[in-house]
Structure 1
């Protein structure tokens, strides 16, 4: 199937409108997520129905600006009533559910009573993003869909709002009590944010529909939150997720012949799943890998510490002093973890084989000496400060020794006044300038 120039233009304008709408929702969604109010967009999308009906009753026609004002007013009212009920002792999620379901029910009754108005539920849910390229108007010599100008203006307003109230929004989102103590009205900032959310939600309805608006107020921000901990980078990532959702959502809808807005939401959800599994810090795979690496490090360090103690028992002789593979695996806890620990430390040049024995390399001996030093310093610290009996010192020291770095060793050494022996009378190894923590 060959694509014409008009097909490319239609795709371009559809993706552009989706991106503009997604970006506006994603930026505000970051603040909603940080304030644990992500579902407020869903609530507003349901609750604005009576605002639309009231605007029609007052004006007698469906015009964009009265509809916008009516819906935005009800959106702010939703936030106000939610906070009011919450202050009365009801949990915030319950108060939100009560308010938006009640307002939505009132809106359904009002719309049902107005027989002269035709409100298509499909348009509200799915939007008319597929039809964006069908209506254009001249602008600087180009034929541009009106939705591009509308959503572009909304994005500019959102960016100006965030830029002007950057400090206030940041403080209120992370610590409203601190903001109040600094003279910033957390309540005013809250309602300004709710007004912006309501405005973006309403203006996006006609172009992209409620499904995409609700998804983009939640999913891009949640995805970005898994990838970064800084607010400004979180917004950039969220906008990037919105763009990718728009681009690949349109392509997917074209290939599967389905709803464009729905497919954009699906792509956003898939990007979120990728972040859940592969986020460098919070991803499931990353956590599994980190835990495995930590387990192997601890097991390997148990092996080299065991070999170092064997050298001590041999009178400090390093040549020929070592332990067998079976003993090393027992020191590492056995199983496949032990084998992987031995292989990993051999690969790092900390272990070597001499006949049937595992021995320490010079680098391995320095690291093992540091471990044993940490262990015995901590035993002495526990005895002097926690007053544990001698037979209770080894196990906690064996766990903590893997997390005592060079700096903490020096602090312990100073606090304990440079001890030479541990509570069991064993020598505390010195740490020279070449030793590693």
Structure 2
């Protein structure tokens, strides 16, 4: 029977945190895409005067007046920020900073002035109280359900419904507001709608994770997901998954260490972002380091092969001394590693006299020298550079010349057989 079902306080706390954090993470996806991370911070603080005014007018801290107050404050923040930016000749970040700090300060003044003798826990607003939220329950079908969970579930459902109904509109307005307007729906309307969702998620987050730490949940999961994938729908799903995992793991660690659950969750969200920033397969630091290393190795390989080819042009088939060849490839660890690889691939042979190209190596080197000399000819003939100014730029671009670009050079230089220095341009069959 449902009446016999009992949900423990820790489980309730995790449920509240999970639903709240997933809401923040989903909304944060569009904040990150729009480069409006600071707006999430601003609204999460600027809703404070709206909450106070709603409480003074209604005498209640229920979900309805609080959400209405937050909506009003969120819209006011967005409107005032855009107005200052458009009419006051104030930069967007400066206008946002002025508006949200002013509204937040106004909220603090209102709390001290009108709510000094009333139970209005500002510490809860700033830092959150997840356990308190889990213990404040109401019976539904015989089960004690936290009121914060009910409010958070309603907001999560609202976020999901808005995303399902207006996914295309939100997506287009995020990437190209002008196109959004030409397609018949207002980019400004989508912007205000998103700000409303930010305000709602901020309010339901106050009691569980607090106004300060909600910023981490709005931004960190979405930013981490943005590093991991390049498509919007998977980004939203991964952002929600990160928020869910952070909620469970954060509460478990906080219970073990006897520290703030909200703080632990925010710290784990930051850790998830840093992990993505380091380990993302495409955009992570390690991936970039690996790509740079591969590029450096390829450039050293090209330089070594080209140096050996030019040496054979000058000295016939005489081997080039090892140290001289390595010098042309910057004579470092990369150059030595590349030489070992070229010998293993059968493109370079080494004897006591030095290094020589094999047949396979000579063919590969000829194509590199061909691209270099085509570029030199093109830069002189079409870019108007002097003959003594084309070697260095040609040396740079030769490493990035693919088949399509080489075909373009051939078309532009259909009758070129020698470079500007009189050297023969190797043919494709070499």
TM over 0.5: yes
**Within-5 A mapping of 1:32-111:** 32-87=31-86, 88-111=88-111
**Within-5 A mapping of 1:165-184:** 165-184=166-185
> For residues 69-117 of structure 1, what are the alpha-carbon distances to aligned partners after superposition, in whole Å with 9 as ceiling and x for unaligned?
1222112111111111111211122222222222222222222233442
- What does residue 373 of structure 2 align with? 376
Q: Does 1:394 align with 2:391?
A: yes
More displaced stretch, 383-392 vs 366-375: 383-392
Cα gap change, 1:219/1:424 in structure 2, threshold over 3 Å: closer, same or farther?
same
Residue 356 of structure 2 aligns to a residue whose secondary structure is strand
**What displacement does 1:49 show?**
2.0
Cα gap change, 1:42/1:395 in structure 2, threshold over 3 Å: closer, same or farther?
closer
Cα gap change, 1:329/1:28 in structure 2, threshold over 3 Å: closer, same or farther?
same
**What displacement does 1:269 show?**
1.0
**What displacement does 1:136 show?**
4.8
Cα gap change, 1:149/1:62 in structure 2, threshold over 3 Å: closer, same or farther?
closer
Unmatched tracts of structure 2, length 5 or more: none
Cα gap change, 1:379/1:109 in structure 2, threshold over 3 Å: closer, same or farther?
closer
More displaced stretch, 140-149 vs 111-120: 140-149
- What does residue 185 of structure 1 align with? 186
Distance in 2, matches of 1:104 and 1:265, equals 22
> For residues 159-189 of structure 1, what are the alpha-carbon distances to aligned partners after superposition, in whole Å with 9 as ceiling and x for unaligned?
1111211122122212222322333212211
Residue 323 of structure 1 aligns to a residue whose secondary structure is coil
Residue 333 of structure 1 aligns to a residue whose secondary structure is coil
Cα gap change, 1:391/1:102 in structure 2, threshold over 3 Å: closer, same or farther?
closer
Cα gap change, 1:367/1:240 in structure 2, threshold over 3 Å: closer, same or farther?
farther
- What does residue 276 of structure 1 align with? 277
> For residues 215-260 of structure 1, what are the alpha-carbon distances to aligned partners after superposition, in whole Å with 9 as ceiling and x for unaligned?
1112122222222332222222222221232122122212221000
Distance in 1, matches of 2:48 and 2:236, equals 29
**What displacement does 1:314 show?**
5.1
Distance in 2, matches of 1:91 and 1:48, equals 22
> For residues 381-420 of structure 1, what are the alpha-carbon distances to aligned partners after superposition, in whole Å with 9 as ceiling and x for unaligned?
1221123332223222222211112222222112211533
Residues 6 and 143 in structure 2, CA contact (< 8 A), matched pair in contact too? no
Distance in 1, matches of 2:9 and 2:345, equals 57
**Within-5 A mapping of 1:100-139:** 100-114=100-114, 115-136=116-137
- What does residue 340 of structure 2 align with? 343
Cα gap change, 1:155/1:90 in structure 2, threshold over 3 Å: closer, same or farther?
same
**What displacement does 1:279 show?**
2.8
More displaced stretch, 130-139 vs 290-299: 130-139
Residues 323 and 359 in structure 1, CA contact (< 8 A), matched pair in contact too? yes
More displaced stretch, 197-206 vs 417-426: 417-426
Residue 312 of structure 2 aligns to a residue whose secondary structure is helix
Residues 133 and 207 in structure 2, CA contact (< 8 A), matched pair in contact too? no
Distance in 2, matches of 1:162 and 1:219, equals 20
> For residues 133-180 of structure 1, what are the alpha-carbon distances to aligned partners after superposition, in whole Å with 9 as ceiling and x for unaligned?
435555567554343333233222111111211122122212222322
Distance in 2, matches of 1:103 and 1:417, equals 69
- What does residue 366 of structure 1 align with? 363
**What displacement does 1:266 show?**
0.5
Q: Does 1:323 align with 2:324?
A: no
Residue 124 of structure 2 aligns to a residue whose secondary structure is helix
Residues 72 and 202 in structure 1, CA contact (< 8 A), matched pair in contact too? no
- What does residue 3 of structure 1 align with? none
- What does residue 285 of structure 1 align with? 286
Cα gap change, 1:146/1:59 in structure 2, threshold over 3 Å: closer, same or farther?
closer
- What does residue 385 of structure 1 align with? 382
**Alignment RMSD, CA only?**
2.5
**What displacement does 1:10 show?**
4.3
- What does residue 357 of structure 1 align with? 354
Residues 278 and 286 in structure 2, CA contact (< 8 A), matched pair in contact too? yes
Residues 319 and 353 in structure 2, CA contact (< 8 A), matched pair in contact too? no
Aligned positions, number:
424
* TM-score when normalising by structure 1: 0.89
Unmatched tracts of structure 1, length 5 or more: 1-5
Residue 208 of structure 2 aligns to a residue whose secondary structure is helix
Residue 39 of structure 1 aligns to a residue whose secondary structure is helix
**What displacement does 1:332 show?**
0.6
Q: Does 1:309 align with 2:306?
A: no
Residues 332 and 341 in structure 1, CA contact (< 8 A), matched pair in contact too? no
Cα gap change, 1:152/1:352 in structure 2, threshold over 3 Å: closer, same or farther?
farther
Residues 148 and 204 in structure 2, CA contact (< 8 A), matched pair in contact too? no
**What displacement does 1:301 show?**
0.9
